[in-house]
Amino acid sequence: MKRILVLSLALVAGFAAAVVIGKAASGPQVVTAKAQWVDYYRTPTGLVAGADLIVVAKHLSAQPGRVVGSVPYTLNGFHIQEVVKGVHDGPALLVEQTGGRAGEIIVNIDDGGPFEEGRSYLLFLKSQGNGLFYQINHQARYELQGDVMVGVDPTDAVVAAFHNREIGPAVRFLRDRAERVK
Amino acid sequence: MTARRLLPLAIAFLVGSSLGTGYVYANHPWICSGTTAYHYTPRTVGYNGPSAETSVSRPASAYTGAYTRSINIWNPTVINLTSGGTKLQLRYGAYGTNGWLGLATISGISSCHIGLGKSQLNDTYLRNTGTYSQTAVDHVACQEVGHTFGLNHNRTSSTTCMNDTILTAGAQINQHDRDLLSSIYAHVPN
């Protein structure tokens, strides 16, 4: 009886693995990318000073954007829940992100990759001057898991300052720094 | 020795080896799986370009020269770069106000082997010669090409273009880069 149970479990596990591998193999081609960012900050205060807009916002949608040369962009729609620094007209926020889907190719850059619909993020953004914003770099994005912020690359000193910290005290800290760097 | 005694030893060994791995690799190889970095196979990599993907404002020679110097600096490593191939694309263009000066992409990955690498330099920012000297352009080109061989950023040395926190190294790599490439490509045929 025990042997049958073990064999059955092995069978189910093998089936599940085959489904997962099969799905991965038949999915779109993933292109992985690394960037040399325009702005890199050595302190959290520097990051605050460099951002035009700091918000806590909920991701609503991702639409294919422009393609320049061979670089595709994604237009991410957010609902602003809290403005921490800067001014934004209304709660609807558009963030243009390098990468996304171009035909059967997905370009995944090291800024944290595609945003997850329904998730909230703390974002440090720069304005493109046309109503669109972009994420400054890999230091500029924190996913909220409950009240806890999760950064993209915790080996980075600035990211480590926020990573696994609670959002409430972090927002108070950021507001304080935003006032100081005015 | 009892299992009760062995268990803490085993846990300590696993924790130690995990920490040790993190230290040795110190976010420098571009990890594909476990401790294996993305890499080309064989080590001879044919490239094409440099060529423009859009019109640019800075003289094209700033980008073609930067790529030429990058090829010259990476070629004496374990990587053999040859002109006229299809494994590495060297590109530049005005890609827009997107936050990056340069981008390295790798695709066609199979068993951590890179099918195609691409380096792109963003003229939207780099056209500003007051902010970005030729050394800065060289630094970005050298770094993006280096990424395509399986190297990650190296934030602990100012003598390598793989440091993404500076733009002052130009087309320069250090012994650590060379050693790491030798390690990554030790099993890869020429």
- Cα of A160 to nearest chain B Cα, Å: 15
Per the model's pLDDT, the better-predicted residue between B135 and A14 turns out to be B135
pTM: 0.85
pLDDT bucket at A107, cuts 50 / 70 / 90 = confident
Please report the sign of the dihedral spanned by the C-alpha atoms of residue A62, residue A160, residue B26, residue B16: negative
Nearest CA in chain A to B23: A155
Quickly count: other Cβ atoms within 10 Å of residue A2's Cβ.
Answer: 6
Position B6: which residue type? L
Q: Is A47 helix (H, G, I), strand (E, B) or coil?
A: helix
- The answer to whether the CB atoms of A37 and B97 lie below 8 A apart is no
| Cα–Cα–Cα angle for B58, A52, B162, rounded to 5 degrees | 50
Give mean pLDDT, residues A79-90: 96
- A128/A132 Cα distance (integer angstroms): 6
- The answer to whether the CB atoms of A135 and B53 lie below 8 A apart is no
Give mean pLDDT, residues B98-106: 97
Q: Would you state the pLDDT for residue A181? A: 86
Q: Would you state the pLDDT for residue B190? A: 85
Q: Is B3 helix (H, G, I), strand (E, B) or coil?
A: helix
Nearest CA in chain A to B95: A68
Cα pseudo-dihedral B54, B119, B95, B131, rounded to 10 = -110
User: How far apart, in Å, are the Cα atoms of A104 and each of A28, A31, A35, A122, B91?
Assistant: 5, 11, 22, 30, 22
- The answer to whether the CB atoms of A29 and B144 lie below 8 A apart is no
Residue in A66, A71, A126 closest to B99 by CB = A126
- The answer to whether the CB atoms of B164 and A37 lie below 8 A apart is yes
Phi first, then psi: give them for residue B128, nearest 5 degrees.
Answer: -80, 90
**Residue pLDDT, tens place only, A17-76:** 544 444 444 567 788 999 999 999 999 999 999 999 999 999 999 999 999 998 999 999
Q: Is B32 helix (H, G, I), strand (E, B) or coil?
A: strand
pLDDT bucket at B23, cuts 50 / 70 / 90 = very low
**Residue pLDDT, tens place only, B56-83:** 999 999 999 999 999 999 998 999 999 9
- A113/B100 Cα distance (integer angstroms): 15
Quickly count: other Cβ atoms within 10 Å of residue B110's Cβ.
Answer: 8
User: How far apart, in Å, are the Cα atoms of A149 and each of A57, A96, A133, A155, A170?
Assistant: 13, 22, 21, 15, 9
CB-CB contact of A67 with A44 (8 Å): no
Quickly count: other Cβ atoms within 10 Å of residue A26's Cβ.
Answer: 7
DSSP structure class, residue B115? S
A132 CB-near residues (< 8 Å, 6+ apart): A75, A94, A95, A96
Range name among A97-111, B54-68, B129-143 with the lowest pLDDT average: A97-111
